Amino acid sequence: MTDQQWEMLQKIIKGEVLKPLPVGFIIDSPWLPNWYGIQILDYFSNDELWLKSNMKAIQEFPDVMFLPGFWSEFGMCTEPSAFGARSTFPLNEFPHAHKIIHSADDIDSLPSPNPKTDGLLPFVLNRLKLAQSKIEAAGHKIRFAVARGPLNIASFLMGSTEFLTVMMLQPEKAETLIKKITAFLKDWLHLQMITFPSIDGIFLLDDIIGFIGEVEFRMLGLPYFKELFDADVAIKFLHNDADCKVSAPFLPEMGVNLFNMGFDISLHELKELTKNEVTLLGNIPPRDVLAVGSTTEVKKATEELLNSLKDKSRVILSCGGGMPPGVSTENITAFVQAVRNYSGS
pLDDT digits (tens, 9 = 90+) for 64-107: 999 999 999 999 999 999 999 999 999 999 999 999 999 999 99
- For residue 159, give the H/E element and its range: none
The answer to whether 234 and 199 are in contact (CB under 8 A) is no
Q: Are strands 64-67 and 23-26 parallel, antiparallel or unpaired?
A: parallel
Q: Report pTM.
A: 0.97
- Helix/strand/coil for 164: helix
Which positions of the chain have pLDDT values less than 50? Answer: none
Residue 344, pLDDT score: 73
The full set of domains in the chain, from first to last, is 3-340 (3.20.20.210)
Q: Is 280 left (phi over 0), alpha (psi -120 to 50) or beta?
A: beta
Q: Rounded to the nearest 10 degrees, how much is the dihedral formed by the CA atoms of 66, 67, 73, 77?
A: -130
pLDDT at 345: 62
Mean pLDDT for the chain?
Answer: 97
As a whole number of angstroms, the distance between CA 84 and CA 118 comes to 8
H helices, E strands: number in the chain:
15, 10
Contact 206, 238 (CB under 8 A): yes
* Chain segment 115-149, per-residue pLDDT in tens: 999 999 999 999 999 999 999 999 999 999 999 99
Q: Assign residue 95 a region: left if phi > 0, alpha if psi is -120 to 50, beta otherwise?
A: beta
DSSP symbol at 135: H
Burial class (CB in 10 A: 0-12, 13-18, 19+), 307: exposed
Exposure letters 232-249 (e unless 16+ CB within 10 A, then b): ebebbbbbbbbbbebbbe
Measured over the CA atoms of residue 308, residue 314, residue 316 and residue 318, the dihedral's sign is negative
